[in-house]
């Protein structure tokens, strides 16, 4: 069996960490002295496969424990819509989202999990966690 060359993917995502995304807005947490969690479920997330140009569909779950700030939901929705027409690998998407999310609200703890619909009989699940 011939192994696919890495060069066929080379350069497709080299600037993903510098990608300018919409701002995720925050508001002041009125209970910063309490440890609690917020769960956000985004069941209709879409982006584009950078290799094929075909759409990818996913359910994204964000769980976090706010510290001084909470995430404003409309801005989070606008943030996620940004990816709708963007070619991005699943792995890079979750890493980029977590970096942007934690950069916005600096939570005590956060985890983002993306479960992508099957493609070619394979379901991809990518998770990443952040802890102060």
Catalytic residue among 47, 56, 70, 105: 56
DSSP E strand stretches across the chain: 26-28, 38-48, 55-65, 69-71, 109-119, 122-131
67 a catalytic residue: no
- The distance from CA 29 to its chain's CA centroid, rounded to whole angstroms, is 22
Please state, in angstroms and rounded to a whole number, the distance separating the CA atoms of residues 43 and 78.
15
Please state, in angstroms and rounded to a whole number, the distance separating the CA atoms of residues 39 and 111.
10
Catalytic residue among 49, 70, 100, 105: 49
49 a catalytic residue: yes
DSSP E strand stretches across 66-105: 69-71
Catalytic sites, residue numbers: 49, 56
């Amino acid at each position: 069996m011939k192994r696919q060359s890495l060069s066929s993917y080379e350069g497709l995502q080299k600037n993903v960490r510098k990608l300018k995304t919409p701002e995720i807005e925050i508001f002041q947490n009125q209970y910063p002295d309490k440890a609690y969690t917020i769960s956000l479920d985004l069941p209709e997330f879409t982006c584009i496969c950078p290799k094929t140009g075909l759409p990818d569909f996913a359910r994204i779950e964000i769980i976090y424990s706010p510290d001084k700030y909470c995430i404003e939901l409309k801005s989070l929705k606008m943030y996620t819509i940004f990816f709708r027409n963007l070619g991005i690998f699943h792995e890079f998407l979750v890493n980029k989202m977590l970096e942007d999310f934690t950069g916005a609200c600096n939570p005590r703890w956060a985890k983002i999990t993306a479960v992508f619909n099957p493609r070619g009989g394979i379901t991809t699940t990518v998770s990443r966690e952040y802890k102060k």
